[in-house]
Structure 1
Amino acid sequence: MRADRPVPLNAVMQRMTGLLIGAIFGAVFVIVNAQSPLNGLTVNLLRIAAGLGAASVIAMWFVTARRGRPAEGARPAEGARPNMFGKGYLIVVAAEAILLFGGVRLLSALGSPEQANVAWVAFVVGVHFIVLAPMWRDRSIAVPGVILSLLGAAGLVLASAGAVTWVPLVSGVLSGAVLLAGAVAFGWRTVTAA
């Protein structure tokens, strides 16, 4: 086996890749939704913190990838964890996409304010984590899933009550912060345990 040949993802790299995806989406949630009623300084600080959080997970991913390179001629371990991003994952993501786009269109048809969309996205993303937890045999991802689902539901309630100004903060910024905090914490734990 040549040293420059691509190495299949092992369980640690699969986990780090999942954390990387979560961190990037978390940063996007914060950057896009950090706005009024927050003041300009707070908005900028939140966006900078989100960028730094995502950058730290990217760095941890690269550190893990560098450590994970097998020696020349090494073979994958017997009984290695199955691919996290297999058929079940693809089915969940397809259902998530249908729910996201279908739900946004339904909210629009019902006359919901545009801010309700971010609440719906947070809710669906949270549910997707809850569904993936037993599939991946990783209960730890159910925690941010429950929190995101609750923040999404809270945003939908706020939107229906006319408090639309707060929906991006509650369902967007806070959801993004949860994703980023979880990705940074679990990433750090994974990197230091390796």
Structure 2
Amino acid sequence: MLQRMSGVFIGAFFGTVFVVANAHDPLNPTIGNALRVLAVLTFGGLLALALRAGRRSGPAVGVPGAPRGSWYGGKFGFVVAAEVVLLIGGNLALRGAGAPAETAVAWIALIVGLHFLALTAVWKQRSIAVPGTALTALGLTGLGMAATSAVAWVPFVSGVLSGVALLGGCAYAIAHAYRATARP
């Protein structure tokens, strides 16, 4: 369970970062600050629930359907390496093409979403496809919005909403793990 939870913590952390970094103009500052606080509180709550599930389960109990062995083997490394190359190369290409700065968060959401879709196959966990599909769609939407007068809203759509999708996916995974530890 520890390996799976480390992935969930990473996802929840980056979901929180997506919200904190992108909850700004054109949002009302009060709304932006409220979203930031909610994201941080959600992350803290997810961390507490996951730690409690870990204490309840003991060392031998894992998440039902979780793959045996390492979650972070060669295929995972390939997916992450491809993600890094696409993140850097794509952002450089967008900048070189004169795309608005807001496209960076849309590109990041798109590539992170595709990374989750690839990990769905690697880890054989269909639930990962849900946030992966959401982030991919929000990234594509943001890239499309960048060519319109709505470009200022790209950080909200591709950043804040992607963060919410990541936090929601992590909440689902942690709640599932917590329920799996319930004593009959």
Q: TM-score with structure 2 length normalisation?
A: 0.90
Name 1:109's counterpart in structure 2. Answer: 96
Q: 1: CA distance between counterparts of 2:52 and 2:78? A: 30
In the alignment, does 2:67 pair up with 1:83? no
Q: CA deviation at 1:185?
A: 2.1
In the alignment, does 2:60 pair up with 1:65? no
Deviation sequence 1:72-106 (CA, Å, 0-9, x none): xxxxxxxx712111111111111100000111000
Q: Point out the structure with max Rg over C-alpha.
A: 1
Equivalent pairs counted in the alignment come to 175
Give the one of 12, 21, 35 matched to 1:32.
21
Give the one of 106, 111, 136 matched to 1:119.
106
The letter for the 1-side match of 2:177 is T
Q: CA deviation at 1:188?
A: 1.4
In the alignment, does 2:128 pair up with 1:141? yes
Q: 5+ unaligned residues in a row in structure 2: which ranges?
A: 61-66
SS at match of 2:146: helix
CA contact (8 A) 1:129 1:142 kept: yes
Q: CA deviation at 1:69?
A: 4.3
CA contact (8 A) 2:106 2:154 kept: yes
The letter for the 2-side match of 1:133 is T
Q: TM-score with structure 1 length normalisation?
A: 0.86
Name 1:166's counterpart in structure 2. Answer: 153
Name 1:53's counterpart in structure 2. Answer: 42
Give the fraction of aligned pairs with identical amino acids, expressed as a percent. Answer: 46
RMSD: 1.5
CA contact (8 A) 2:95 2:101 kept: yes
User: After the TM superposition, which segments of 4 or more aligned residues of structure 1 sit over 4 Å from their partners?
Assistant: none
CA contact (8 A) 1:17 1:61 kept: no
Q: 5+ unaligned residues in a row in structure 1: which ranges?
A: 1-11, 72-79
SS at match of 1:85: coil
In the alignment, does 2:175 pair up with 1:188? yes
In the alignment, does 2:8 pair up with 1:19? yes
Give the one of 172, 175, 194 matched to 2:162.
175
